[in-house]
Structure 1
């Protein structure tokens, strides 16, 4: 079912736009740094600071090491972000997750694994992620060969797959009733972790002088982790007695990442409707930090003036 959603996501990726971001990968690299360096480190610091149980700490690290989720694409759209960058980042992080998730677990969970006598099933995790990478590649190929068919697959697959995942999530929550007796520390971590990701991703993108549109996109991709992948990895990799302690966290994280995301969307939409409407002549191109240099062609007029590209507002 998760593969259906991921396949539909791959149908939105155009090969030409994918190649563009891969040829100019600065925005993608910034996002991947936040995804696989910032988030696992934050998860480790939160788990250490709140002194959670070993099984819960492993679940927190897995959540922090997951690739970007589909919800990040939706929130990015509502916040007028760079949709091409968002989809490319989600796809790239899913592919890189094959190696980065096991690596992050190996680096950050060593002490908890020994203390809790927990066995990290790296092979099962790798196979789970591999089954998710394949649908993404197939979706990109379908969109390249049959773009109209890809649009239909996107509409049907995303809706049907999303509903099936919702049913599975509810059924899993009912099956693991004991997991709902969560500690206060788990509730606190699950509520602040997504907001830390959103905020830190945006701040790092600003420091690295990315345009505002990309800053919002990188923020969403950083804070909105793929909860479905985390839940799938946990259920396919760990025995039921450990799942009672682990399964609560991705549910809490998923709930608060959605609530925090909707809060940020509301703030942005209010800002857009009040401040930006009063200044219709101000475009985000002019507010961007970086300006791409434009080569001067040989057909430049001889009157000494140089033609410059128009901004969005003038075009």
Structure 2
């Protein structure tokens, strides 16, 4: 999982020059430009992202690390299974919370900062402000609104309602960049949206959470802002500073940074899930006994209980993000790669931030359950959508309106 990218532009076509004949006058003729049948067609990266800049070939070790980092959904799913079967596995990490949670998220954001060149991202923001602002606005309107709507519609308890709303108010997750790459979407747009929504989370996440969840429990927006600044923005800026100041050292550790970030995120989500698994186990065992061990009836009884309601609410929240995010981008007239990037960015949240804020600022442990559950459900949904889109050429929809930033 790498967030770094060269944002250079290529010429869109080969320039030809008129032939100048010397020594003898001739009649002016109109000649066709020379043909180069063996040269590849090169498109402008600024206008079309079908072709990426030429990058140095990766070593076998770097390819292995990148492949291992892309298995994030597998890690978090396996960790959730372990948390169900033996919750004590994560006891050493849980006992040190919430400090261990904050340090883990800080490490994840530091890894992200090491891969970012803020100068290139700033240049891209200047070149394409409309698409970036549109995507960020969609992120902080669609998900918070549906978090409040779904929690109200399903009649969630106050603690779970706050957790779902807090999840909806979080910025985009870093895994969205990898999923956008798989889906053949606009990766630079996804990267800049992640950075901008993450920096904006210092103010918008606490403010929106207070507005939408303040009716359930008291929300201290100032403390939420300080925590977000400490565990998100500061590590990103530190990572970018280290990249610029110690490029050789960063280049050495950079290939392994995404994998460690993925493992830290999986550990964080599964640890929070293991805290509440005892409560869920009682309902699961009761449902199994009441249904005479029939698999279908057992699953139905489990999903109709509290665990099922949590799973359904998180699933609906992310589904709304993917679907409405894509729909809004289509109505806005964006190209298919931009639609996919905005859809994935809106639908995939930084669930790790939700876990840290929930465990640090709310007394009920149930507030952290929706963000922890999201780490499993969101990545399965996002990865599935990415693989589905991978087999659909984004350039097929030629008749759709197109919005280009100038």
Question: Which TM-score bucket, shorter chain as reference?
Answer: 0.7 to 0.9
State how 1:114-125 maps to structure 2 within 5 Å. 119-125=218-224
Number of the residue aligned with 1:173: 273
Partner of 2:312: 188
Q: Which runs of 5+ in 2 are unaligned?
A: 1-103, 284-305
Gap runs ≥5 in structure 1: 114-118, 277-281, 294-315
**Match of 1:161, SS?**
helix
> Which residue number corresponds to residue 219 of structure 1?
343
Relative to the length of structure 1, the TM-score reads: 0.80
Q: Work out which of the residue numbers 364, 373, 385 in structure 2 matches 1:264.
A: 385
How far is 1:39 from its partner? 0.9
Does the CA-based 8 Å contact 1:13-1:84 persist in structure 2? no
1:107-256 correspondence to structure 2 within 5 Å: 107-113=211-217, 119-131=218-230, 132-147=232-247, 149-178=249-278, 180=280, 182-239=306-363, 242-243=364-365, 245-256=366-377
SS at 2:215 equivalent: helix
Moved more, 83-92 or 214-223: 83-92
Deviation at 1:198, TM superposition (A): 0.8
Closer, same or farther in 2 for the Cα pair 1:73/1:179, shift >3 Å? farther
**Pairwise CA distance, 1:147:** 4.8
Q: 1:157–1:98: structure 2 CA closer, same or farther, 3 Å change rule?
A: same
Shift in Å, 1:287: 7.0
Question: Greater helix percent: which structure?
Answer: 1
Q: Which residue of 2 aligns with 1:26?
A: 130
Q: Once the 2 structures are TM-superposed, how far is the Cα of residue 74 of structure 1 from its aligned partner?
A: 1.2
2: CA distance, partners of 1:71 / 1:38? 19
Superposed counterparts of 1:38-77, under 5 Å: 38-77=142-181
Q: Distance in 1 between matches of 2:405 and 2:270?
A: 48
Moved more, 193-202 or 180-189: 180-189
Question: How much has 1:107 moved relative to structure 2?
Answer: 1.5
Return the alpha-carbon distance in structure 2 between the equivalents of residues 158 and 129 of structure 1: 21
> Do residues 3 (structure 1) and 116 (structure 2) align?
no
**Change in 2 beyond 3 A, CA 1:204/1:133:** same
Q: Give TM-score scaled by structure 2 length.
A: 0.63
Q: Could you tell me how far 1:104 is from its partner in structure 2?
A: 0.7
Distance 2:388 2:276 in 1: 36
Distance (Å, rounded) in 2 between the aligned partners of 1:201 and 1:108: 20
Q: Name the Cα RMSD after superposition.
A: 2.4
CA displacement at 1:286 relative to structure 2: 9.3
User: Partners of 1:289 and 1:92 in 2: how far apart?
Assistant: 23
Change in 2 beyond 3 A, CA 1:18/1:284: farther
Distance of 1:74 and 1:138 partners within structure 2: 23
Contact kept? 2:207, 2:221, Cα under 8 Å: no
Q: Tell whether the 8 Å contact from 2:272 to 2:355 is kept in structure 1 after alignment.
A: no
| Count of residue pairs brought into register by the alignment | 277
Whether contact under 8 Å (1:14, 1:140) holds in the other structure is yes
Indicate conservation of the 8 Å contact 1:76/1:220, yes or no.
yes
Contact 2:131–2:405 (CA<8 Å) still a contact in 1?
A: no
Q: Distance between the aligned counterparts of 2:344 and 2:264, measured in 1?
A: 24
- Give the C-alpha shift of residue 66 in structure 1: 0.1
Contact 2:132 2:193 in 1 (8 A): yes
Contact 1:179 1:248 in 2 (8 A): no
Q: SS at 1:111's partner residue?
A: coil
Query: 1:12 & 1:95 partners in 2: Cα distance?
Result: 16
Q: Is the 8 A contact 1:78 1:265 kept in 2?
A: yes
Does the residue aligned with 2:216 lie in a helix, a strand or coil? helix
- What is the Cα deviation at residue 43 of structure 1? 0.7
Distance 1:215 1:229 in 2: 25
**In structure 2, C-alpha distance between the alignment counterparts of 1:21 and 1:285, rounded to whole Å:** 25
- Structure 1 residues 287, 228: CA separation in 2 closer, same or farther (over 3 Å shift)? same
